[in-house]
Amino acid sequence: MKFSAKGLLFDNDGVLVDSLPAAVAAWNEWSATYAPGWNWGEAENSGVRAQDMVLRMVGEARFAEANDLINRLELETASNTVPMPGAIELTSSLAPGNWTVCTSAIAALGRARLQAAGIPIPRELVTGDDVANGKPDPEPYLLGAARLGLEPEDCVVFEDALAGCQAAFDAGVGLIVGVSESALDTPADIVVRDLSGITFDGQELYIPDRNRLR
């Protein structure tokens, strides 16, 4: 399938990089102190900023110390991040200025995970530190499009999480591509297994039919 577009906006975790084992280790250690028995792996937590989850779980009184701990733990495990299939090939082929990453991670963590996975870090990177409101609010994707000098409707978003797809939908992007089986439960326009075989020349996005799940 072919789609017209001017820019690509990627979520990071679960789309470009596999940081799940690293994140699970960090959050399990964090929850042992601040939220015993809490299941971080629930779908509602996927794609959401850590600081927003921490505030919801512990409240304002303990927020600073709890947030500092999860940031430290996630940075300590970031080196265990690996690329998702097709991610290096696709991002390495893209021209600077027509794609970026919009991640819920803080800047240091987002950069550390991209670097560990061997993914190029775009100049226009959007992190959780850059926005007042994280996903599912549309602000991250609105900012990503703005940093590329594009209108949201001219952009394609690649997402795996419900919160991220909601953010992309509310931002008014032209197409939402869900990545992995987890995206089958989101309102993504189409869903692919991974990024393998996908190409973009700055005007046309090509997605091989063999890679589509929906």
CATH number (domain holding residue 177): 3.40.50.1000
85 and 182 together in one domain: yes
Give the position of tokens 């190409």.
199
74 and 88 together in one domain: no
95 and 196 together in one domain: yes
41 and 143 together in one domain: no
33 and 128 together in one domain: no
34 and 13 together in one domain: no
Instruction: Give the catalytic positions in this structure.
Output: 11, 13
3-class DSSP string for the chain: CEEECCEEEECCECCCEECHHHHHHHHHHHHHHHCCCCCCCCHHHCCCCHHHHHHHHHCCCCHHHHHHHHHHHHHHHHHHCEECCCHHHHHHHCCCCCEEEECCCCHHHHHHHHHHHCCCCCCCCECHHHCCCCCCCCHHHHHHHHHCCCCHHHEEEEECCHHHHHHHHHHCCCEEEEECHHHHHCCCCEEECCCCCCEECCCEEECCHHHECC
Alpha-carbon distance values, 127 to 105, 133, 152 (Å): 6, 11, 17
pLDDT tens-digit series, residues 58-86: 999 999 999 999 999 999 999 999 999 99
Please tell me the total count of domains within the chain.
Answer: 2
184 and 156 together in one domain: yes
153 and 139 together in one domain: yes
153 and 173 together in one domain: yes
39 and 117 together in one domain: no
State residue 43's pLDDT score. Answer: 66
Please say which residue of 36, 58, 79 terminates a domain. Answer: 79
pLDDT band at 46 (very low <50, low <70, confident <90, very high): confident
Q: Under 8 Å CB-to-CB from 39, ≥6 apart: which residues?
A: none
160 and 141 together in one domain: yes
Please say which residue of 55, 79, 103 terminates a domain. Answer: 79
Mean pLDDT of 168-195: 97
pLDDT of 44 strictly over 80: no
Which residue range(s) make up the domain with 182?
2-19+81-211
Mean pLDDT of 174-186: 96
Please say which residue of 59, 79, 99 terminates a domain. Answer: 79
pLDDT band at 156 (very low <50, low <70, confident <90, very high): very high
Tokens of 92: 């390495």
User: What is the identity of the amino acid at 29?
Assistant: E
48 and 89 together in one domain: no
Cis peptide before 36 (omega within 30 of 0): no
